Structure 1
Amino acid sequence: MMQYDVVIAGGAMAGATLALAIEHLSKGTLNIAVVEPFKVQSEGHPGFDSRSIALSYGTVNILRHLKLWPAIEPHATPIEHIHVSDRSHAGMTDITKQDVGIEALGYVVELADVGRVYQGLFEHSQSITQFCPNSVASVEREQDKVHIELSGGEKLEAKLLVAADGAVSQCCQQIGLELSEHDFDQVAVIANIVTQEPHQGRAFERFTPNGPVALLPMSDNRMSLVWCLRPEEAKRVMALPDGEFLERLQNDFGWRLGAMKKVGQRASYPLLLRHRKQNISHRVAIVGNAAQTLHPIAGQGFNLGIRDVASLAEEIVKQIDDVGRYQGLMRFSVRRESDRQETIWLTSSLVHIFSNDLPAMRIGRNFALATMDNLSTFKQPLLRHTLGIVKR
């Protein structure tokens, strides 16, 4: 039986960030195990098709505070300008880094790069042990500890188990934590593309009758595409040859970046809102997609997850003698309640308002976009969440 203070199920960005945050804040005094099914790709790089994620300004500040940003920054592309528009209608709004007086509105990082950065930090850590490839097979809780058996047969004991093992969390299923699910009746088509004009650090969110199209700036003048479509439409688009795919995208997105020149490997996944009302249980805390998985509109999900991670790490080190004590978990849960509810509500509301082509909705959202562009008071709530400057 191997003993740890904290066992983290899931070593992707949320789980790995949590492990490194706990190590930093506890000055290496806590023993942490990270259980992850997939090995980091150390050979080569996904190249053109590398998948990416947008980090808000607030998330970058959290990573700075945790001393993780210096290792990630060389791999990050700054977002200097966000353009929001509605296809074939007048409403639009722009947010620039000059508007808010910061060096960047956010950054886009490739997951393969961050995975390698974190792997390097794990290998140099004295207090983090990895079990990889491996996963949690069973969980049994007692008054003052948790017994965890891994699929590889290893038996671990911890004061606290953190579920960071994705939307369909095995840990949460093991302990019977209820999952609420809402189907947005949309599918996200994702790919990297190259446009005729350089992106110059610009990000675009364009609302169409089918759903939003987002393009985020990446290195080597690539752009990361998230294109939300009705399921039957997504199926058709996924089957198109590259040339026809780019034509169809051009039609939805427009010509702000000139002609669409190249598309890489495509993937798609159904868009669901999944969330657990409870983000704690006896000797268990839940973070990242295991706590809530949001629609990608406005890029809120991962950034919300990092705010969960930072708050949990802070509460854990306040009770270093017993990191799984209920008082600390309760403080974490109360701290996170309003941000979780507000971000879930904001994201879902945006989907319903901007994926609806009813005339009244269309007029309303165009008025809102135009007003936002002219009156900074209307811009503030959206801007606050876009930048991730949220009380936690």
Structure 2
Amino acid sequence: MKQFDVVIAGGAMAGMTLALAINKLSSQPLSVAVIEPFQVDHQAHPGFDSRSIALSYGTVEILKRLELWQEIAKVATAIEHIHVSDRSHAGMTDIRTQEVGVDALGYVVELADVGRIYHQQVQLDADITVLHAAVELVQRSESKVTIELSDGESIEGKLLVAADGAISTCCQQLGMELSEHDFEQVAVIANITTQVPHQGRAFERFTEQGPLALLPMSQGRMSLVWCLTPERAKQIIAESDEQFLSELQSAFGWRLGKLHQTGQRASYPLLLRYRKQNISHRFAIVGNAAQTLHPIAGQGFNLGIRDVATLAECIAGASQDPGSYHTLKQFKVARSEDRDATIAMTSALVHIFSNDYLSLRIGRNLGLFSMDNLPLLKTPLLRRTLGLVAR
């Protein structure tokens, strides 16, 4: 039976970042296994139909420290200006690189590009083994975790990390309780082109149904995340490209001129999924397996990377046993405040900005106006948006 120091279930962004981070920080090499059922797609990714994520300034600083940013930077588009507004109302605020004193407020990357970069880096790391299988069974003893795989193989590790998504097989195997709240919204995503170049601008616009975000991408494209009621999303998905762009134009406005072209649309329901316990005996949880957030303010992935960085630091600081109680307790305590605060903030923003009640409409417009004119109000939210939070 193959034995590893750390076994990571899930080879997407959180899992691969952790796998690469551990030995960037450790003074002596640790053997790492990544269990990932899906092969990395080597085909060219269709430009209009690839998913994108926004990396906060804080996340980029973490990736730099882990020596992972240099290659990703080549395929990243800088966010230099964020414009936040409320549809049909006066409230708005702007955040610019000049007032924050940074080169970029964040960056937008396509997942397919990062996947290819990580795949290449993992292949060059002799201490990382990728196993193309699924987790079938997890069993724990005092000093190790045994994982049975779908290909019939079994492996052992001192620590198992669940990075296998919101519906985590590992968490289900070990009975880790999952809390769930349905926001009763669906995110419609697509890539579009605009008449006016984005010039590094990102937009978040609040509508009576939910937030609409446009993020700058390479080749003049923009990544759309449009949060709607389930019924409205179903209609939008079924519409022709022309009708879809017309409705999007009406909701977003004309700050980027005419919206020209859209790629294939996709959608997914928006839920808060949260596991209060992010550790158990020889077991830790990171990324979407620990918490899946509403996309408002783009917090979810960046919170997950802070999970990953902290766990990698705790593992690197452990003397011989990365799965020891002391190591995992240290990880849990370090992540508690940030997790709770970020989840509370995103859920509150959804409540405040996803309806058209008169009292909340007045309140949020006063809030946006105040943020734009009173730096003391703007700074705390801005720091969390930029990912400048204590770990």
- TM-score exceeds 0.5: yes
Separation in 2, partners of 1:244, 1:320: 60
Separation in 2, partners of 1:204, 1:265: 21
> Any stretches of 5+ residues in structure 1 without a counterpart?
none
Which deviates further from its counterpart, 19-28 or 254-263? 19-28
The 3-state SS of whatever aligns with 1:348 is helix
Equivalent residue, structure 2, for 1:304? 303
Separation in 2, partners of 1:29, 1:239: 52
Contact 2:26 2:317 in 1 (8 A): no
The 3-state SS of whatever aligns with 1:49 is coil
Cα deviation, 1:269-309, whole Å, max 9, x if unaligned, reads 00000000000000000000000000000000000000000
Equivalent residue, structure 1, for 2:174? 175
> Any stretches of 5+ residues in structure 2 without a counterpart?
none
Deviation at 1:39, TM superposition (A): 1.2
Equivalent residue, structure 2, for 1:185? 184
Deviation at 1:27, TM superposition (A): 4.7
Equivalent residue, structure 2, for 1:10? 10
The 3-state SS of whatever aligns with 1:365 is helix
Aligned pairs for 1:295-374 (under 5 A) are 295-374=294-373
Separation in 1, partners of 2:382, 2:339: 17
Equivalent residue, structure 1, for 2:239? 240
The 3-state SS of whatever aligns with 2:180 is strand
Contact 2:294 2:346 in 1 (8 A): yes
Equivalent residue, structure 2, for 1:38? 38
- Code of the residue aligned with 1:32 in structure 2: it is V
Aligned pairs for 1:7-86 (under 5 A) are 7-27=7-27, 29-86=29-86
Equivalent residue, structure 2, for 1:249? 248
The 3-state SS of whatever aligns with 2:17 is helix
Separation in 1, partners of 2:297, 2:319: 36
Percent of residue pairs identical: 68
Q: CA RMSD in A?
A: 0.7
Separation in 2, partners of 1:174, 1:141: 11
TM-score (norm 1): 0.99
Is residue 2:159 matched to residue 1:160?
A: yes
Contact 2:48 2:190 in 1 (8 A): no
TM-score (norm 2): 0.99
Separation in 2, partners of 1:323, 1:348: 33
Separation in 1, partners of 2:77, 2:38: 26
Equivalent residue, structure 2, for 1:381? 380
The 3-state SS of whatever aligns with 1:75 is coil
Separation in 2, partners of 1:332, 1:94: 35
Contact 2:146 2:157 in 1 (8 A): yes
The 3-state SS of whatever aligns with 1:149 is strand
Aligned pairs for 1:126-275 (under 5 A) are 126-132=126-132, 134-275=133-274
Contact 1:183 1:273 in 2 (8 A): yes
* Distance verdict in 2 for CA 1:28–1:234, change over 3 Å: farther
Deviation at 1:38, TM superposition (A): 1.4
Contact 2:6 2:322 in 1 (8 A): yes
Deviation at 1:320, TM superposition (A): 3.6
Contact 2:27 2:316 in 1 (8 A): no
- Code of the residue aligned with 1:308 in structure 2: it is D
Equivalent residue, structure 1, for 2:105? 105
Equivalent residue, structure 1, for 2:92? 92
Separation in 2, partners of 1:249, 1:384: 30
Separation in 1, partners of 2:236, 2:250: 12
- Flag as ranges the 4+ runs of structure 1 deviating above 3 A: none
Separation in 1, partners of 2:213, 2:319: 42
- Code of the residue aligned with 1:15 in structure 2: it is G
Separation in 2, partners of 1:34, 1:242: 40
Contact 2:80 2:97 in 1 (8 A): yes
Which deviates further from its counterpart, 40-49 or 271-280? 40-49
- Code of the residue aligned with 1:125 in structure 2: it is D
Separation in 1, partners of 2:224, 2:243: 16
Separation in 1, partners of 2:79, 2:364: 24
Cα deviation, 1:230-284, whole Å, max 9, x if unaligned, reads 0000000110000000000011101110011000010000000000000000000
Deviation at 1:28, TM superposition (A): 5.7
- Code of the residue aligned with 2:201 in structure 1: it is R
Separation in 2, partners of 1:115, 1:103: 25
Which deviates further from its counterpart, 189-198 or 20-29? 20-29
Which deviates further from its counterpart, 192-201 or 25-34? 25-34
Separation in 2, partners of 1:27, 1:213: 45
Contact 1:22 1:313 in 2 (8 A): yes
- Code of the residue aligned with 1:315 in structure 2: it is C
Deviation at 1:154, TM superposition (A): 1.3
Separation in 1, partners of 2:74, 2:184: 38
Separation in 1, partners of 2:362, 2:283: 46
